[in-house]
Structure 1
Amino acid sequence: MTFCVIGLGRFGSQLAKALLDEGFEVIVIDKDDERVSEFSEKASGALILDATDEKALKEAGISEVDCCVVSVGQKIDASILIVMHLKTLGVKEVVVKAVDELHAEILKRIGADKVILPEKETAVRLAKTYRSKRFFEVLEVNPEYTIVETSAPNRFANKTLKELRLREDYGITVILIKRKSPYLNEKGLPVMKEEIIVSPKGEDFIFENDILIILGKEKDLERLLKE
């Protein structure tokens, strides 16, 4: 899958680096030659051009990429114009970083496939994390389902997943169990080793101090951990 990142500010540059680290082909575009030069060796293409120029985008072959992410900071008019050009050129998926809700609504109306508000999404995620002291980390999969990392409630200790009936009674799935177990190292000294059980089965036990990664609807997760 090939990505194009337009705008190499703080968000755009971090996204481009993350995509490259994941092994994707990435083309980066910015008017600032210093920002572009940072990616000259790693990116599939590092282009210095004005993305508001439709002809320049066309000549750069942007229509061939699978997904284009537009992150041009506070330049609302520029982002709108770039999205219009990308849609005209037939880019398969256009993702845009918006400044605020009004900007996001405009971008959606002109054809952006996905609009992100990083500050808002980070704030909402943090608020959800603190809403329940049991939740260490929260990841919203979609508006209905959420993945949370939480310590196992005391009543789970020394019971199997089958005995707990989490899926049957709560519609919740445990997708990973993390625990620390003591063992002797090469020098014969006791140390703690982390054990990870991915996709645990019904006969797997939950022990005291286990950390669970669970998937479910928000209301069901809250109900489970409040009981």
Structure 2
Amino acid sequence: MLKANGYVIIGLGRFGSSLGKELMKLGYEVLGIDKDEEAVQEMSDILTHAVVAECTDEEVLRSLGVRNFDCGVVAIGDDIQASILTTIQLKDLGVKKVVAKAISELHGRVLEKLGVDRVVYPERDMGIRVAHQLVSPNLLDYIELSADYSIAELTVPRGLDGKSLQEINPRAKYGCSIVAINKTSGVIIAPTAGEVLRERDVLVVIGTNDQIDKFEHAVAK
């Protein structure tokens, strides 16, 4: 049985597969659904569970328990009608958060009118970046520089308000570096140790994926 805080991805094409793989790497359980048996077969050993099903059928989705998931991602390819119908089904079934892939601005506007929580345009949002953004409330952006190094933008939580970089000391504690701070007054490049953070400031952090992940979880507490 999949955990309630898992993700259901409907459509296992290039985007859906990439997103599913990265969510699995991040330690989340993922149910993948696609009507293409070959696509499901390719992901069956990668995702927690992958099934062949008609995603526009409400009863099928209900039987798969999609309403128990915290987030449903509609990653259907070029079939706009199927995308829209599936999105409606997820909303009707009460999925807490619905994210949908759009293939055009018009498609995106329709999805927004249906009340989706986020519209994703694959040309602008690669699956890896979206995966990190979905599971990290303080993460605004995530860019892979290489297999090991990344740059991330993190919002400063209330718990760090009024603290200086010297107090947080991310370099010594986590190995990552804060290379810039975006404040309401402007961007500070290469901030000094005495720079004081305010809630909702945006930190630009560089380091290995593990270093950023540890820092992100530490500041979120």
> TM-score scaled to structure 2, two decimals?
0.60
* Amino acid of the structure 1 residue aligned with 2:8: C
8 Å contact 1:174–1:215 — kept in the other structure? no
Q: Percent identity?
A: 38
8 Å contact 1:104–1:115 — kept in the other structure? yes
Of 75, 82, 86, which aligns to 1:78?
82
1:217 match: 182
Whole-angstrom distance in 2 between the partners of 1:218 and 1:66: 32
User: More deviation in 3-12 or 17-26?
Assistant: 17-26
8 Å contact 2:181–2:188 — kept in the other structure? no
* Amino acid of the structure 1 residue aligned with 2:170: L
8 Å contact 1:174–1:214 — kept in the other structure? no
8 Å contact 1:36–1:47 — kept in the other structure? yes
Number of residue pairs matched?
Answer: 164
Whole-angstrom distance in 2 between the partners of 1:221 and 1:213: 16
Whole-angstrom distance in 2 between the partners of 1:139 and 1:100: 27
Gaps of 5+ in 1: 126-135, 147-166, 178-195, 200-210
1:36 match: 40
Of 186, 189, 198, which aligns to 2:174?
198
Q: Residue 106 in 1 paired to residue 105 in 2?
A: no
Q: Residue 27 in 1 paired to residue 31 in 2?
A: yes
Q: Which has the higher strand share?
A: 1
Whole-angstrom distance in 1 between the partners of 2:70 and 2:8: 8
> TM-score scaled to structure 1, two decimals?
0.59
1:120 match: 124
Q: Could you tell me how far 1:69 is from its partner in structure 2?
A: 0.8
- Structure 1's 218 and 139: CA in aligned 2 closer, same or farther, altered over 3 A? farther
SS at match of 2:178: strand
Gaps of 5+ in 2: 130-148, 157-162, 191-221
Root mean square deviation of aligned Cα:
3.6
Q: Could you tell me how far 1:76 is from its partner in structure 2?
A: 1.8
Q: Could you tell me how far 1:215 is from its partner in structure 2?
A: 5.5
Whole-angstrom distance in 1 between the partners of 2:114 and 2:28: 27
Q: Residue 176 in 1 paired to residue 170 in 2?
A: yes
2:137 match: none
